[in-house]
Amino acid sequence: MSRQRPHVLIIVQNLPVPLDRRVWLECQALTAAGYEVSVICPKGPGDPAYAVLDGVHLHKYAPPKQADGLLGYAREFVYCWLRTARLTLKVRRRARFDVMQACNPPDTYWALALPWKLTGVKFVFDHHDLNPEVFRSRFGEPTKLPGKIQLAILKWLEHRTFRTADRVISTNTSYQDIAVNRGGVKREHTTVVRSGPDTSVMRPVYAGDAPLRGGEHLVAYLGIMGPQDGVDGVLEAAGRIVHFHGRKDFRFVLLGFGDCLEDLKRQSTDLGLDEYVEFTGRVGPEQIATYLSAASIGLSPDPRSPLNDVSTMNKTMEYMAYALPVVAYRLTETVVSGGDCAVYVEPGDSDGLADAVVALADDPDRRAELGAAGRRRAEQVLDWRPQAEAYVGVYDELLDFASSGPFPNDDPEAEARFAPGTDRWGNQLVDLRDDTALRAFAATRIMAPETQSESRDGPAPQAS
């Protein structure tokens, strides 16, 4: 067995790290297991070009201007590829790396891995997205030559990525099947590592009622706001809830950013919803904990498409980690994540989505049932812990390294993991060892157990 500490270089293009929560969890798992980790990614607002965070070496470049059209996207990919290639040389000057892990999109970093493979570096493909399906979801099946050429290029790039990779990490079994059947990867060279929430960190708190902005029920959306994400359907549902159902007691919060953010703000204004809808923009862990703990319902409005039907939606699992009842469109992998812990609506039925939200908001017993069951499913089935073990196992096997594992000297069954107290921002934690307290929280959200009886005679008090 090799005793030298291996060095893993992770490449990400579409999000900075640690904002990319999956990649940051991977970094933490590797460093805890005894690996050295470097990351190359674009800068977020205010980020330095180089920093060491929790032992992870972060090398960042200025992000490109927002792409517009085919030529714009091509320029973006070339710019990011060249900046990344240059930074690999900087990483190598500091320390030799043994593995390059590329996270897509795009499927272009196989070409950067090839020369490094000649020096003995292994290539791992962390398969986050299906780029041919992204194209079909946005533009439909091409009928004209330019579209057919673009799709053919995407398929070729994907195929080359699969063929170059020494190992493929798939976010679910649907992606694993594509790697095997479409990419020609040996099944024993693929490993499923779901983007499960770290439930020891993502856990509900008594957040108070400030996020409700004077309303009674807060409906939350968390995630990217792109053309394929269906966030416009959230606003259509909100319009029906406010104007058709006449529910002025609802508020809606859209957490995140993306290409469609400004269009969504205009849509909110056009629908007369500005009083009821809050757009937060980019959010961090503290805001996520606050809003998802205060919300009554989390929405997964992703429309059915070749991409969405086989993709795992992180937001669904993250809602469940916060004991937040979920209303979602019935997509294959969304049902795999949510199981019996969500209310499902037929894809594209924004009226049905709105009606399901109203019915669930008016049924605290159902919210208690779904929220508590969702939290338990997140802990027992979806949690990052077994995913981290599978992830680190890929590197242990590939490099013949006897690591200490992602959770060295840690008892995963320790009751203290979910003991009551406060989080790092001073919020009172829900006692997850107490099923009664968990169900009460899932039904009422903003009140600590000792204050619930008082709320029947007056407004809900702030959590301490």
Class of residue 421 by CB neighbours under 10 A (exposed 0-12, middle 13-18, buried 19+)? exposed
Summary mean pLDDT of the chain? 91
Is the pLDDT score of 17 beyond 50?
yes
Q: Does residue 42 register a pLDDT over 50?
A: yes
Alpha carbon of residue 340 to chain centroid: 21
CA distances from 136 to 7, 129, 139, 306, 347 (A): 37, 13, 5, 7, 17
C-alpha 243/C-alpha 66 separation (Å) is 35
Model pLDDT for residues 152-182, shown as the tens digit of each residue: 999 999 999 999 999 999 999 999 999 999 9
pLDDT tens profile 385-413? 999 999 999 999 999 999 999 988 776 55
Sheet order of strands, 342-345 included: 277-281, 250-255, 217-222, 297-300, 326-329, 342-345
3-class SS letters over 202-242? CCCEECCCHHHCCCCEEEEEECCCCCCCCHHHHHHHHHHHH
d(C-alpha 169, C-alpha 191), whole Å: 5
| C-beta separation of 294 from 323 below 8 A | no
**Taking Cα atoms as reference points, which of 10, 18, 21 lies closest to residue 47?**
18
Q: How confident is the model at residue 4 (pLDDT cuts 50, 70, 90)?
A: confident
Please report which confidence band the pLDDT of residue 1 belongs to, taking 50, 70 and 90 as the band edges.
very low
Query: Which band of pLDDT confidence, cut at 50, 70 and 90, is reported for residue 442?
Result: very high
Residue 275 has pLDDT above 70, yes or no: yes
With residue 321 as reference, give the H or E element that holds it.
helix 314-321
3-class secondary-structure state, position 423: coil
d(CA 232, CA 258): 12
The pLDDT, as a whole number, for residue 116 is: 98
Whole-number Cα distances in Å, 205 to 52, 270, 293, 447, 461: 30, 35, 6, 10, 14
**How confident is the model at residue 448, as a pLDDT?**
54
With a pLDDT cut of 90, the percent of the chain lying above it is 81
CA angle 451, 454, 458 (to 5 degrees): 120
Determine which helix (DSSP H) or strand (DSSP E) holds 36, and give its type and residue range.
Answer: strand 36-42
Do 7-196+383-399 and 205-379 share a fold? Answer: yes
What pLDDT sits at residue 138? 84
Tell me what pLDDT residue 463 has. Answer: 34
CA 240 centroid distance within chain: 28
Instruction: Please state, in angstroms and rounded to a whole number, the distance separating the CA atoms of residues 140 and 417.
Output: 47
**Which of these, 440, 436, 442, 464, lies nearest to 453 by C-alpha position?**
440
pLDDT of 150 strictly over 70 = yes
Q: What's the confidence (pLDDT) of residue 446? A: 72
- Decide if 331 contacts 342 (C-beta within 8 A): no
Token reading at 260 = 């469609």
The beta strands (E) that lie in 95-223 are given as 99-103, 122-127, 167-170, 190-192, 205-206, 217-222
Phi-psi region of 97 (alpha: psi -120 to 50; beta: other; left: phi over 0): beta
Write the CA distances from 155 to 66, 130, 159, 160, integer angstroms.
Answer: 24, 10, 6, 9
> Would you place residue 430 in the very low, low, confident or very high pLDDT band (cuts 50, 70, 90)?
very high
Instruction: Fill in the DSSP letter of residue 202.
Output: S
Q: Which amino acid is at 339?
A: G
Spell out the domain ranges in the chain. 7-196+383-399, 205-379
pLDDT of residue 410: 72
428 - beta bridge partners? 206, 422
Of 324, 323, 300, the C-alpha closest to 312 is 300
Placement of tokens 């005679």 in the chain: 457
Stretch (H or E) spanning 376:
helix 364-377
DSSP state of 216: S
Average pLDDT over residues 420-430: 88
Name the CATH code of domain 7-196+383-399 (choices 3.90.550.10, 2.130.10.10, 3.40.50.2000, 3.40.190.10). 3.40.50.2000
Residue with tokens 């059947």: 181
**What pTM was computed for the model?**
0.84
Tell me the residue type at 275: E
**What three-state secondary structure class fits 383?**
coil
Give the pLDDT band (50/70/90) at residue 445: confident
- pLDDT of 65 reads 82
β strands within 349-411, DSSP E:
none
Q: For 308, which DSSP code?
A: G
User: In this structure, what are the phi and psi dihedrals at residue 122, rounded to the nearest 5 degrees?
Assistant: -85, 155
DSSP 170-198: ESSHHHHHHHHHTT---GGGEEE------
pLDDT score recorded for residue 412:
56
Closest CA relative to residue 170, chosen from 151, 155, 185, 152: 185
Q: Give pLDDT tens digits for 357-375.
A: 999 999 999 999 999 999 9
The CA distance from 127 to 171, in Å, is: 7
pLDDT for the residue 419: 72
Q: Which amino acid is at 443?
A: A
Q: How far is CA 75 from CA 13, 79, 215, in A?
A: 14, 6, 45
The CATH number given to 205-379 is 3.40.50.2000
The tens digit of pLDDT for each residue in 218-261 reads 999 999 998 889 999 999 999 999 999 999 999 999 999 988 99
